Amino acid sequence: MPGGVLPREDTELVILRAAHNCHCDYEWRHHERLAGVAGLAPEEIDRVREGPGASSWTGRQELLLRAADELHAERTISDPLWSELHALYSDVELIELCMLVGHYEMLAMTLNALGVQPDRVPAGPPPRLARLLQRAVRS
């Protein structure tokens, strides 16, 4: 979802968690590379599978992972978690967060149901979109 208001690093973290929660290897493999371009370290990408209880998350990252997990399990965000999120995020960002999880869970469901196999990761530099994203993150 390029062009959203959430920081790209936050977006990729949430997408990876949705991919993990939905057991969607296609989505995971596609976004682990984009997450690295967006600024997540390889060890952070690996740790997404452990969830919000893993050590070394920032408070912000832990909240995002908790939100992704609650939306997955409960299809809503509890009032206490919403209050914590609202302290860091605007209403617009929180709407985007809910839409982001919903979108990538829907996509994962479709990819899984259709049996879409992960793409082969190409050698060489990332595609043009990823390079543009990388430049935007650095600015």
Domain-embedded: residue 1:
no
**According to the model, what pLDDT value does residue 98 have?**
98
Domain-embedded: residue 103:
yes
Look at the chain and report how many structural domains it folds into: 1
Side chain identity at 12, as an amino acid letter?
E
CATH number of the structural domain spanning residue 121: 1.20.1290.10
pTM of the model: 0.86
Alpha carbon distances (Å) from 3 to 55, 81, 96, 132, 133: 30, 26, 11, 12, 10
Domain-embedded: residue 81:
yes
**According to the model, what pLDDT value does residue 118 have?**
84
57 is in which domain, residue-wise? 8-138
**According to the model, what pLDDT value does residue 120 have?**
76
Domain-embedded: residue 45:
yes
Low-confidence ranges of the chain (pLDDT < 70): 1-2, 121-139
Domain-embedded: residue 46:
yes
Domain-embedded: residue 99:
yes
Domain-embedded: residue 37:
yes
Nearest 5°: the CA angle 125, 126, 127 is 120
**According to the model, what pLDDT value does residue 119 have?**
78
Chain centre to alpha carbon of residue 103: 11
Domain-embedded: residue 2:
no
